[in-house]
Amino acid sequence: MTTFGHKGRLEDERMLKGAGRYASDWNLPGQLYGHFLRSDRPHADIVSIDASAALAMKGVVAVLTGEDVAAAGQKPMPAAAPMKGRGGADQLVPPRYSLTRERVRYVGEPIAMVVAESAALAQDAAEAIAVEYRELPAVITAAASLAPGAPQLHQSVPGNLVLDFVGGDAAATEAAFARAAKVVRLTACHTRVVGNPMEPRAAIGAYNPAADLYHLYATTQGAGPMRLQVGAMLDVPPEKLRIVAEEVGGGFGVRFNAYPEYGALLLAAKRLGRPVKWVSSRSEVFVADEQARDIVHCGEMALDASGRMLGMRFQYLSNAGAYLAFTGSFINTVNLVNVASGVYDVAPVHVQMKLVLTNTVPTAAYRGAGRPVASYAMERLVDQAAHEIGMDPAQFRRRNLVPKSKFPYRIATGFEYDCGDFEGVLDQAMRQADWNGFEARRTESARRGCLRGRGIATYIEASASGGFAPFDQAHISWQPDGTVTLRTASHNHGQGHETTLAQIVSGVFGIPMEKVRLRTSEPDFFMVSNPTGGSRTLVGIGSAMHGAAHEIVQNGIALAAEFFESAAADIEFASGDYRIKGTDRSVSIAALAQRYPGKLDLDYRDRPKVPSTYPNGCHVAEVEIEPATGEIEIVSYVAVDDAGNVINHQIVEGQMQGGITQGAGHVLGEQALYDAETGQLLTGSFMDYPMPRAVLVNNLRVLDHPVPTKTNPLGAKGVGEAGVTGSMPCVMNAVLDALRQAGVTHFDMPATPQRLWAAIRAAKEGRPRAFAVADLPPA
């Protein structure tokens, strides 16, 4: 096994000097500028669109509408369908086009695109377009959308139900509940959030008529999947489309999918014979980018008299928004069942999920992509059970953990955990958090008039799942100057791929990692692999790069034998050099690559993908709440995580810090809130929508407890989404532990000061569940 030392990040100098090129930095000769007119109604028929005033303005070149999209023969946007519904039923996918025709279904849906000689002129002209609507009733929540007589969004989706999915063993679970000494039930909500990467979306559409070739310069998490999705919209084969992206200022899942604006830009570029550029505003990010979460879940746990788990069942009611995004059903099926038992030794588990359309922005993947939802539902339920039976929450977990002796461990939904040390992770977290000293700290907080709460979460997630591509492609080539170029379709946008992949390959080749560079979106390279997502780049692409590098080293044996005019059996490789065994005659791999150009290059493809890995951990948080104001502070946080072998500790620690803070920010403030009557987004700017800051999680310590996996050559498990998967239930359990001292028995996110203060006041007035969500509708 190759070892990898701790290194700094190769991309940092470029980023710190402002030398990166983002989507809005691209400019093409003769380009025009686009601006989108968006619906200001949640649900309405379009009676007419009058663009005459806009077209009369000087410098306005064109106005495109849904009629133009239809006339061009564009197809609906695709949506993946990884799982069947109940009884083998297919998901119902409503058609969604680049520009909507006849009806709008959410505030922010693009209706028309103005193309002009400047961005300001295009925006001014969009305001001159007159749209006549016929108002229709709107529905905002998934529960209301399933109710009898609810407004129907699409004729092709009766009852607004896209998918009714089940997983696990219903009969075994029912039997477990029948023999239970106690049943614990908890209904909670996972509020809707806006992804809000630092870089708003931007794109340029261009068309080369001589080659019949489209170019799209855009923000993306992977050029390959983006090419397939946009190609499907344009109804052209993927080889007729080039995706160009260098730096991308954050992804979080909301840069995974194609967006409707891209089809309109490319249509305009082809029709007008000039490139068309569009840069969205932050306001557009709030109403036009995919949103996420918005799920109500009900969990039930069956216990025996000793506090052992006998079975669990979960119902999820998921709000898909007005259309089904490409990843919409994936995150609400596969990622809710692949760790359905959590870290607990309980076989009977059953999961049901209903995916429902509403008049809101479509929801899709967002850091964790369903796994934080499953972890939150599980760990909130586990804490509730410990509370109801009067057992220490850590000891209750310990009693039910999968023991180390039972690995590999197959769960009820068919997935298998290959390795782990759940009890060792728990023990380390308890020691580092000084679990036994908490009551003294709580007493000290009370002396100062504060409510102190402690939360714990023992989580597991499935990372590096198979994804949508048939294999992970890694392309390695040597350059004339002795440097090495790596190519893959998995895009880097903050994760440090440049560094970690360079470490892997340079470690095999025995060359300085500074000699390795990464390319992820070169127009003329058609790379096949999954985009960045699911914490799988290091595990999947890293393993492919590792395999490719070793294969290149092996290929070099014959070349070295030719170079030395000796037998291949006499050649050995170590520390970057080929040598004849037992002699001092050697040649470096870099020199050999220069001597035989192209002979040590390799397109590594069509190999079996590595299987999923199961990173896990235990997080412990403590919070203080000021009852008089509701102000809350995370005063300490300990995260102990098993990410397998760590390639670069600096990057792993940064990913954990970011994920933990992101999850804490969701619990303590972030919420995309719609008005139930008007369908308007009430939190459409940073004036109303708080973003987490670096100081949100105080005294944060990130610690390793590695149990290397044998399912990939690196022994790594993935880390990009582990922090948020653990922090959301951990922080919320701490909040509720603090609130119970004030008589609050149930509380749902977001834990803002106003809501905390109001909940404490309501409890004093005899309403301890005033801030609980409504139960799910009948299954």
Helix axes 223-234, 260-272, angle to 10 degrees: 60
Alpha helix ranges (H) inside 2-79: 12-16, 52-55, 66-71
Report the sign of the C-alpha dihedral through residues 757, 759, 760, 765, in that order.
positive
Give one DSSP letter per residue of 675-714, joined into a string: -TTT--BS--STTTSPPP-TTSBTTEEEEE-----SSSTT
Report the pLDDT averaged over residues 504-527.
87
- Tell me whether residue 146 is exposed, middle or buried, using C-beta atoms within 10 angstroms of its C-beta: 0 to 12, 13 to 18, 19 or more: buried
CB 630 within 8 A of CB 754: yes
* CA distance to 206, 227, 232, per residue, from 240 (Å): 12, 9, 11
Note the Cα 250 to chain centre separation in Å: 11
- Other Cβ atoms closer than 10 A to 545: 28
> Does residue 391 register a pLDDT over 80?
yes
Over residues 726-745, the pLDDT tens digits come to: 999 999 999 999 999 999 99
Nearest residue to 262 via CA among 285, 240, 233, 228: 233
CB 317 within 8 A of CB 297: yes
Nearest residue to 380 via CA among 460, 292, 457, 294: 457
CB 616 within 8 A of CB 642: yes
User: According to the model, what pLDDT value does residue 532 have?
Assistant: 76
Report the pLDDT averaged over residues 642-666.
94
The secondary structure of the chain in percent helix, strand, coil, rounded to multiples of 5, reads: 30, 25, 45
Report the pLDDT averaged over residues 322-332.
90
The amino acid at 676:
A
Residue listed under structure tokens 């999705």: 229
Q: How far apart are CA 296 and CA 84, in angstroms?
A: 21
Virtual CA dihedral for 742, 744, 748, 749, nearest 10 degrees?
Answer: -10
Sheet containing 700-704: order of strands: 451-460, 616-625, 632-642, 700-704
Report the pLDDT averaged over residues 107-129.
98
Residue listed under structure tokens 């679990």: 435
User: According to the model, what pLDDT value does residue 774 have?
Assistant: 53
Over residues 704-733, the pLDDT tens digits come to: 999 999 999 999 998 888 999 999 999 999
Report the pLDDT averaged over residues 662-690.
95
What's the mean per-residue pLDDT of the chain? 93
Rounded percentage of the chain residues whose pLDDT exceeds 90: 79
Over residues 368-385, the pLDDT tens digits come to: 888 999 999 999 999 999
- Tell me whether residue 136 is exposed, middle or buried, using C-beta atoms within 10 angstroms of its C-beta: 0 to 12, 13 to 18, 19 or more: middle
User: According to the model, what pLDDT value does residue 15 have?
Assistant: 84
Q: Residue length, the chain?
A: 779
Structure tokens at 699: 């005294």
Q: How far apart are CA 354 and CA 295, in angstroms?
A: 10
Confidence of residue 603 (pLDDT cuts 50, 70, 90): very high
Paired sense of beta strands 632-642 and 700-704, if any = parallel
Q: How far apart are CA 505 and CA 638, in angstroms?
A: 33
> Does residue 38 register a pLDDT over 50?
yes
> Does residue 292 register a pLDDT over 60?
yes
Q: How far apart are CA 587 and CA 564, in angstroms?
A: 9
Report the pLDDT averaged over residues 635-647.
96
Q: How far apart are CA 93 and CA 106, in angstroms?
A: 17
> Does residue 773 register a pLDDT over 70?
no
Report the pLDDT averaged over residues 395-416.
94
Report the pLDDT averaged over residues 327-353.
90
- Other Cβ atoms closer than 10 A to 550: 15
**Cα–Cα–Cα angle for 287, 160, 312, nearest 5°?**
95
Report the pLDDT averaged over residues 212-228.
89
Q: How far apart are CA 8 and CA 650, in angstroms?
A: 7
Structure tokens at 294: 């918005």
Confidence of residue 466 (pLDDT cuts 50, 70, 90): low
Nearest residue to 418 via CA among 662, 204, 737, 707: 707
Confidence of residue 6 (pLDDT cuts 50, 70, 90): very low
Over residues 132-165, the pLDDT tens digits come to: 999 999 999 999 999 999 999 999 999 999 999 9
DSSP, collapsed to helix, strand or coil, labels residue 672 as coil
User: According to the model, what pLDDT value does residue 778 have?
Assistant: 43
Paired sense of beta strands 516-519 and 484-487, if any = parallel
Confidence of residue 2 (pLDDT cuts 50, 70, 90): very low
Confidence of residue 192 (pLDDT cuts 50, 70, 90): very high
Paired sense of beta strands 161-168 and 182-194, if any = unpaired
Rounded percentage of the chain residues whose pLDDT exceeds 70: 96
The amino acid at 557:
I
Note the Cα 396 to chain centre separation in Å: 31
Confidence of residue 247 (pLDDT cuts 50, 70, 90): confident
Report the sign of the C-alpha dihedral through residues 213, 218, 224, 228, in that order.
negative
As a whole number of angstroms, the longest Cα–Cα distance in the chain is 91
Instruction: Say how many CA atoms lie within 13 Å of 47 toward its Cβ.
Output: 7
122-133 burial, b at 16+ Cβ within 10 Å, e below that, comes to: bbbbbebbebeb
Paired sense of beta strands 616-625 and 632-642, if any = antiparallel
> Does residue 529 register a pLDDT over 80?
no
User: According to the model, what pLDDT value does residue 467 have?
Assistant: 61
* CA distance to 14, 200, 234, 260, 565, per residue, from 280 (Å): 25, 6, 22, 13, 62
Task: Return phi, psi of residue 344, to 5°.
Answer: -105, 145
Over residues 56-104, the pLDDT tens digits come to: 999 999 999 999 999 999 999 998 776 788 989 999 999 999 999 999 9
Which residues are 112's β-sheet partners?
37, 65
